[in-house]
C-alpha cells in the first residue's frame, strides 16, 4: 500500500467517529451483535438450548456497555464529548449570570481589541518595504558634524562612480509640477529620480516601462512615469496613455509607463521624472549645495558594514580633496526601512506596550471576577466530588469554563480590532505613514489568538485550578467560612488588584507626561497669530515667467487681487510659510563677502517676503522696520533678520546697519544687503523645533516662482478660496492654487502626531484606571460582605460607624498605596524610554508623579466609598444572629 493511501486510511479511521458519531455507534452495535449471534449459533450447534446459549454467551461476552465505552475511549471521542459538554456548560453558566458575563467578556474584548489594533498598526508601519529583497535597500545619508544633511550632486556622482559595495545608487529630489490640458490645471508631487531608481527597486510597471539608463542625462528627451492614482484620475486608467505626450509645467513630456501607487516611496510621489542635474550643480564650486536623498541596493555578497566602511572611506577622501565644501562632512549608511519609518518605531512600540499593559489589567480584572465566582462554587464542587466525579474530570471542566469568557471576549476584541485598525488608519493617515492598507492580517490574527489563549490560561485556568477546593471534606461539613481555599483566594485577589493599580499607575505616569508635553507644545508661541488667516500656494512656471520683470508684474497684480478678496484686512506673500519644514539653508558672511574661509561658513535659513507679509502674520517687529513697497529692484538691497540670528551672530551689538552677504548669486548680483530690521522668531520646522537663524529678503529684489499667499480675513475660508481661484484664473488660467488651508489647520497638523499619541495614551490610561477602580471596588465590597459578622461584633463591642468605614477605606488605601509605589518604581524604570514622546517635560517630572499619586489615592477612596457605607449599615444583631 502506498504511503498516500495509508495516510488517507488512517485519517478516515481517526476522523470517522468524530465526524459521524451516529454512524460509528451503529457500526459498533452491529459488530457486537454479529459476534453474539455467531456465538449463540455456535453454542446451539453444540447442543445447548437457544435460551441457555443466549444467557451463557452474554455472560461470557462481559458488559456490553462497558466495552462500548472502552471502544469510544479508543476512538478518542470521549474527550471531545466532554470538552464540548464543558464548553456548553460554561456558556450556560455565563448565560445565567449576564452581568458578570457582560463585564468579563467586554473587558477582555477591550483589552484584546486595543492590543490587536495597535499591533496591526505597528505591523503595517514597520513591515518590510514593498520591493524585491527589501532588506538589501539602504539610504546613504550625508552628515555634517554629526548631523544629517542632504547630499550634493557632485558627492553623489563621485560616490556612484567609486562604490563597489552599492549597486544602482540613485539620487532623489521631490518637486511639484503642474499638469495642464484635459481639465483643471493640477499640482502634482513629482519625484525627480535617477534613471536607475525604479529598476534598482525592481518596480514592475502596470503599463509601459520604467526609466532606462541615460534618460536622466542632459539633453535626453523629457519623459514621465505616472503613478497609478493620477493615471486613474486624469487618464481614466487608459493604458493607451503610454507613448502620448502630457504637459507638465508648460513643457511636453512623453509618458513611458505607469507604476502602482503602493510604492509609497519616495513618500507621496504622484509622478516620476528623471533627475537631470542642473548644469550648475556639477560645477566644483557647488559641491557644498546639498539637496538630494540617496538610496542604493547592497551589491550581491556585500554587507551593510562593508558598505559603511567603503562609503566612509570615499567620503573622507572627498573631504580632504575638497576641504572648502566637504570639511566636516561624513556619511552614514542605514537600512532604508529605518530611514523611512525609524522615527515611528519608538512611539509605536510605546503605544503597543501601553496596549499590552491595558490588556494585562483587563485580564487581571476578569481573573478577579472569576475568583469571586469560584468562591460561590466550592459547595457545588464538593457535592459533585462526593457523587463520584473524578478529579481530572472536574479540573477539565473548571479549565474549560474559565477559558470560555476569554475566548468569547478575544473573538469580540479581534472583530473590534478590524474596526479599530480602520479607524486608526483614517485618523492618522496624515501623521503616520504606510497605513493605507493597514488591517488585521494573518499575523495579527495569530497575535490575537496567542494573546487570548495565553491570558486565558494565565488569568483564567491557573487561578481556577489553583484555588479550586477539590475535596469533599470541609466544605460539605459547612465549616468553610475561612478555610484554606478562601484565604488563598482573598490573598490572590488582593495581589491581583495591587498589580492592577501598579500597572494603571505606570500608564497614568506615561499619559501624564505626554499630556503635559502636549500642553507645553500648545503653549509654544509660534511667533505669529494664527487665527483668521488663510494660505494657499502658487508656483509660477519658469517657462512663462522666466525673468524677474514678469514675476514682479504678475505678483503686483496678484497682490491687488488678494487685497480685494472677501473680508481681507492684511495680506502678503512668503517663500515659505511657517511650520512647512521648508529648508533653504544658505551660507553667509557679515560685512563683506569672503570667497575663501578656512571652515564652512555659518548658514542661515533664507525666506523671501513681500512687504505685507509681517503685518498679515502679525510677526512682532523688535527693532528697525520691515519691508515697504520702496524696497524694490532699483533700491539698495536690504534684509530683515530674526532674533535667533541677531543673538547668534550679533550678540551684544546692534545688527541694524550691518551688511550680510549670502552664498547665492543671481545674474551677477550677490544676494544680501543691509539689515534694516529684526523680527520675532517664527517656528519654521514645527512647534517642537527651536527657531534657526533666519533672514528675510524682499520679494521685488529677489523674485522667485514659488510662493505662499497669506491673507488675514474675516470671511469664511471657503468663500475666500473660491474668490481667490476665480481671481487667479483671470490672471492666468493655467496656474493652479494648491495647499489651500488656514494657518490654524497648519498649526493643528503640526501638532497632529503628538496629539494622536497623547489621545491614545490618555485613553488607555483612563480605561486602565477605570478597570483598576472596578477591581478595587470588587475586592473591598466582597471582603465587607465576608466580614459582616466580624463588623457586627466590632459594632456590638462599641466601635463607631466611622471606625468601621475608616477600616474599609483604609484597607482599600493600603492596596492602592502599595500598588502605586510599585507602579511609580516601574514608571521611573521605563520613563527613560519615553524621551522620544516628550517635549519640555523631564521623564522624571515630579509634578506628574505627584498628580498621579493624588489621583490614584482619590480613586482608592472612591472605590471603597460604597462598600464602606454598606459596612456602616451592618446591623450588629442581624450579623451575629446570621448563622
The nearer residue to other proteins, 34 or 847, going by C-beta atoms, is: 34
Residue 33 CB, shortest distance to other proteins, in Å, is 9
The nearer residue to other proteins, 22 or 592, going by C-beta atoms, is: 22
The nearer residue to other proteins, 11 or 309, going by C-beta atoms, is: 11
The nearer residue to other proteins, 30 or 430, going by C-beta atoms, is: 30
Phi, psi of 737 (to 5 degrees): -90, 140
Residue 75 CB, shortest distance to other proteins, in Å, is 7
Q: Give the residue from 273, 737, 274, 735 showing the smallest Cα distance to 544.
A: 735
The nearer residue to other proteins, 76 or 546, going by C-beta atoms, is: 76
Distance CA 469, CA 34 (A): 47
Residue 9 CB, shortest distance to other proteins, in Å, is 6
The nearer residue to other proteins, 68 or 232, going by C-beta atoms, is: 68
Half-sphere exposure of 617 toward its Cβ, with a 13 Å CA cutoff?
Answer: 31
Residue 131 CB, shortest distance to other proteins, in Å, is 49
Residue 189: beta bridge partners? Answer: 176
Residue for grid cell 496656474: 735
CB-based burial label for 345 (10 Å; 0-12, 13-18, 19+): middle
Q: Give the residue from 358, 365, 329 showing the smallest Cα distance to 147.
A: 329
Do residues 469 and 482 lie in contact, with contact meaning Cβ atoms separated by under 8 Å? no
The nearer residue to other proteins, 43 or 516, going by C-beta atoms, is: 43
Residue 84 CB, shortest distance to other proteins, in Å, is 21
Q: What DSSP assignment string belongs to 336-368?
A: HHHHHHHHHHHHHHHHHHHHHHHHHHHHHHHHH
Strand pairing category for 137-144 and 290-298:
antiparallel
Residue 36 CB, shortest distance to other proteins, in Å, is 8
The nearer residue to other proteins, 41 or 522, going by C-beta atoms, is: 41
Half-sphere exposure of 169 toward its Cβ, with a 13 Å CA cutoff?
Answer: 23
Strand pairing category for 694-698 and 603-609:
parallel
Residue 856 CB, shortest distance to other proteins, in Å, is 58
Residue 47 CB, shortest distance to other proteins, in Å, is 17
Residue 26 CB, shortest distance to other proteins, in Å, is 11
The nearer residue to other proteins, 27 or 666, going by C-beta atoms, is: 27
Q: Give the residue from 197, 195, 191, 192 showing the smallest Cα distance to 131.
A: 197
Residue 32 CB, shortest distance to other proteins, in Å, is 6
Q: Give the residue from 420, 476, 336 showing the smallest Cα distance to 112.
A: 420
Q: Where are the beta strands (DSSP E) in 611-705?
A: 621-624, 638-642, 659-666, 669-679, 694-698
| CB environment 391-402: b (16+ within 10 A), e (fewer) | eeebebbbbbbb
Q: What DSSP assignment string belongs to 550-579?
A: HHHHHHHHHHHHHHTSTTEEEEEEEES-TT
Residue 390 CB, shortest distance to other proteins, in Å, is 19
Q: Where are the beta strands (DSSP E) in 659-749?
A: 659-666, 669-679, 694-698, 706-713, 738-742
Residue 46 CB, shortest distance to other proteins, in Å, is 12
Distance CA 96, CA 98 (A): 6
Residue 762 CB, shortest distance to other proteins, in Å, is 58
Distance CA 209, CA 193 (A): 15
Residue for grid cell 577622501: 317
The nearer residue to other proteins, 65 or 634, going by C-beta atoms, is: 65
The nearer residue to other proteins, 75 or 100, going by C-beta atoms, is: 75
Distance CA 21, CA 308 (A): 66
Give residues in contact with other proteins (CB under 8 A): 1, 6, 9-10, 13-14, 27-28, 30-32, 34-35, 37-39, 41-42, 60-64, 66-68, 70-71, 73-76
Cis bond before residue 576 (omega within 30° of 0): yes
Q: Check residue 597 and report its DSSP letter.
A: -
The nearer residue to other proteins, 21 or 209, going by C-beta atoms, is: 21
Distance CA 468, CA 370 (A): 11
Distance CA 18, CA 16 (A): 5
The nearer residue to other proteins, 7 or 102, going by C-beta atoms, is: 7
Give, in order, the Cα–Cα distances in Å from 161 to each of 158, 167, 314.
Answer: 5, 10, 10
Q: Check residue 431 and report its DSSP letter.
A: T
Residue 389 CB, shortest distance to other proteins, in Å, is 23
The nearer residue to other proteins, 65 or 279, going by C-beta atoms, is: 65
The nearer residue to other proteins, 46 or 147, going by C-beta atoms, is: 46
Cis bond before residue 618 (omega within 30° of 0): no
Residue 31 CB, shortest distance to other proteins, in Å, is 5
Residue 80 CB, shortest distance to other proteins, in Å, is 14
Residue 3 CB, shortest distance to other proteins, in Å, is 11
Which cell numbers hold the place of 555?
A: 505678483
Q: Give the residue from 455, 392, 446, 542 showing the smallest Cα distance to 110.
A: 455
Q: Is the dihedral of CA 139, 143, 149, 155 positive or negative?
A: negative
Give, in order, the Cα–Cα distances in Å from 20 to each of 6, 16, 78.
Answer: 21, 6, 14
The nearer residue to other proteins, 43 or 297, going by C-beta atoms, is: 43
The nearer residue to other proteins, 68 or 396, going by C-beta atoms, is: 68
Give, in order, the Cα–Cα distances in Å from 739 to each of 527, 708, 768.
Answer: 21, 9, 40
Amino acid at each position: 500500500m502506498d504511503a498516500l493511501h495509508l495516510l488517507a486510511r488512517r485519517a478516515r479511521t481517526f476522523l470517522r467517529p468524530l465526524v459521524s458519531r451516529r454512524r460509528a455507534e451503529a457500526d459498533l452495535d452491529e459488530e457486537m451483535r454479529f459476534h453474539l449471534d455467531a456465538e449463540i449459533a455456535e453454542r446451539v450447534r453444540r447442543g445447548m438450548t437457544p435460551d441457555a446459549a443466549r444467557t451463557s454467551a452474554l455472560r461470557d461476552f462481559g458488559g456490553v456497555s462497558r466495552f462500548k465505552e472502552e471502544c469510544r475511549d479508543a476512538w478518542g471521542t470521549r474527550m471531545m464529548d466532554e470538552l464540548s459538554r464543558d464548553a456548553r456548560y460554561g456558556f450556560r453558566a455565563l448565560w445565567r449570570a449576564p452581568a458578570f458575563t457582560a463585564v468579563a467578556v467586554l473587558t477582555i474584548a477591550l483589552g484584546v481589541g486595543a492590543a490587536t489594533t495597535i499591533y496591526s498598526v505597528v505591523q503595517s508601519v514597520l513591515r518590510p518595504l514593498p520591493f524585491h529583497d527589501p532588506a538589501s535597500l539602504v539610504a546613504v545619508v550625508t552628515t555634517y558634524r554629526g548631523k544629517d544633511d542632504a547630499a550634493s550632486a557632485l558627492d553623489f556622482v563621485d560616490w556612484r562612480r567609486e562604490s563597489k559595495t552599492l549597486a544602482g545608487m540613485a539620487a532623489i529630489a521631490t518637486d511639484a509640477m503642474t499638469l495642464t490640458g484635459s481639465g483643471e490645471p493640477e499640482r502634482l508631487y513629482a519625484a525627480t529620480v535617477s534613471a536607475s531608481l525604479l529598476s534598482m527597486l525592481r518596480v514592475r510597471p502596470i503599463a509601459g516601462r520604467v526609466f532606462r539608463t541615460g534618460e536622466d542625462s542632459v539633453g535626453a528627451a523629457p519623459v514621465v512615469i505616472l503613478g497609478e492614482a493620477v493615471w486613474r484620475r486624469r487618464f481614466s486608467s487608459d493604458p493607451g496613455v503610454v507613448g502620448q505626450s502630457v504637459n507638465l509645467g508648460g513643457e511636453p513630456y512623453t509618458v513611458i509607463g505607469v507604476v502602482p501607487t503602493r510604492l509609497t516611496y519616495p513618500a507621496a510621489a504622484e509622478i516620476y521624472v528623471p533627475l537631470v542635474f542642473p548644469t550648475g550643480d556639477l560645477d566644483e564650486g557647488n559641491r557644498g549645495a546639498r539637496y538630494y536623498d540617496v538610496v542604493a541596493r547592497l551589491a550581491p555578497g556585500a554587507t551593510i558594514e562593508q558598505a559603511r566602511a567603503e562609503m566612509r572611506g570615499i567620503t573622507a577622501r572627498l573631504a580632504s580633496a575638497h576641504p572648502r565644501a566637504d570639511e566636516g562632512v561624513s556619511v552614514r549608511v542605514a537600512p532604508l526601512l529605518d530611514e523611512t519609518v525609524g522615527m515611528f518605531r519608538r512611539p509605536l512600540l510605546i503605544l503597543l506596550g501601553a496596549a499590552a499593559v491595558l490588556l494585562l489589567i483587563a485580564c487581571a480584572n476578569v481573573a478577579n471576577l472569576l475568583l469571586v465566582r469560584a468562591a460561590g462554587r466550592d459547595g457545588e464542587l464538593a457535592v459533585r466530588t462526593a457523587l463520584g466525579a473524578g478529579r481530572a474530570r472536574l479540573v477539565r471542566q473548571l479549565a474549560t469554563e474559565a477559558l470560555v469568557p476569554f475566548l468569547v471576549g478575544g473573538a469580540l476584541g479581534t472583530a473590534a480590532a478590524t474596526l479599530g485598525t480602520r479607524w486608526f488608519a483614517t485618523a492618522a493617515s496624515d501623521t503616520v505613514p504606510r497605513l493605507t492598507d493597514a488591517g488585521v492580517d494573518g499575523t495579527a490574527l495569530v497575535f490575537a489568538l496567542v494573546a487570548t489563549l495565553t491570558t486565558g490560561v494565565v488569568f483564567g485556568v491557573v487561578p481556577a485550578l489553583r484555588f479550586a477546593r477539590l475535596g469533599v471534606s470541609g466544605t460539605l461539613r459547612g465549616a468553610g467560612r475561612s478555610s484554606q481555599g478562601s484565604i488563598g483566594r482573598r490573598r490572590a485577589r488582593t495581589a491581583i488588584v495591587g498589580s492592577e493599580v501598579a500597572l494603571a499607575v505606570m500608564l497614568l505616569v506615561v499619559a501624564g507626561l505626554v499630556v503635559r508635553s502636549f500642553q507645553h507644545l500648545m503653549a509654544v508661541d509660534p511667533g505669529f497669530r494664527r487665527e483668521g488667516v488663510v494660505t494657499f500656494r502658487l508656483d509660477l512656471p519658469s517657462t512663462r515667467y522666466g525673468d524677474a520683470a514678469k514675476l514682479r508684474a504678475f505678483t503686483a497684480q496678484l497682490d491687488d487681487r488678494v487685497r480685494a478678496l472677501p473680508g481681507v484686512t492684511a495680506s502678503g506673500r512668503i517663500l515659505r510659510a511657517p511650520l512647512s519644514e521648508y529648508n533653504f539653508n544658505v551660507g553667509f558672511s557679515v560685512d563683506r563677502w569672503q570667497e575663501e574661509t578656512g571652515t564652512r561658513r555659518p548658514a542661515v535659513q533664507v525666506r523671501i517676503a513681500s512687504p505685507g507679509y509681517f503685518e498679515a502674520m502679525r510677526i512682532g517687529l523688535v527693532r528697525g522696520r520691515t519691508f515697504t513697497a520702496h524696497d524694490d529692484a532699483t533700491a539698495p538691497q536690504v534684509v530683515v533678520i530674526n532674533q535667533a540670528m541677531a543673538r547668534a551672530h550679533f550678540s551684544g551689538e546692534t545688527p541694524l546697519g550691518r551688511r550680510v552677504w549670502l552664498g547665492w548669486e543671481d545674474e551677477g548680483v550677490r544676494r544680501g544687503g543691509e539689515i534694516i530690521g529684526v523680527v520675532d522668531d517664527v517656528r519654521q520646522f514645527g512647534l517642537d523645533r527651536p527657531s534657526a537663524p533666519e533672514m528675510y529678503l524682499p520679494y521685488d529684489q529677489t523674485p522667485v516662482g514659488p510662493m505662499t499667499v497669506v491673507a488675514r480675513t474675516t470671511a469664511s475660508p471657503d468663500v475666500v478660496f473660491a474668490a481667490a481661484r476665480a481671481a487667479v484664473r483671470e490672471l492666468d488660467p493655467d496656474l493652479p492654487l494648491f495647499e489651500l488651508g488656514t494657518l490654524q489647520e497648519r498649526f493643528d497638523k503640526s501638532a497632529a502626531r503628538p496629539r494622536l499619541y497623547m489621545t491614545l495614551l490618555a485613553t488607555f490610561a483612563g480605561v486602565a484606571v477605570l478597570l483598576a477602580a472596578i477591581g478595587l471596588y470588587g475586592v473591598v465590597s466582597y471582603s465587607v460582605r465576608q466580614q459582616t459578622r466580624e463588623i457586627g461584633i466590632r459594632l456590638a463591642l462599641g466601635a463607631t460607624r466611622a471606625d468601621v468605614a475608616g477600616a474599609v477605606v483604609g484597607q482599600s488605601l493600603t492596596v492602592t498605596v502599595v500598588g502605586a509605589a510599585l507602579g511609580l518604581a516601574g514608571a521611573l524604570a521605563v520613563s527613560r524610554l519615553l524621551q522620544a514622546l516628550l517635549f519640555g517635560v523631564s521623564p522624571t517630572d515630579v509634578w506628574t508623579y505627584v498628580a498621579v499619586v493624588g489621583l490614584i489615592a482619590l480613586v482608592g477612596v472612591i472605590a471603597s466609598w460604597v462598600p464602606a457605607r454598606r459596612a456602616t449599615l451592618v446591623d450588629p444583631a442581624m450579623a451575629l444572629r446570621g448563622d
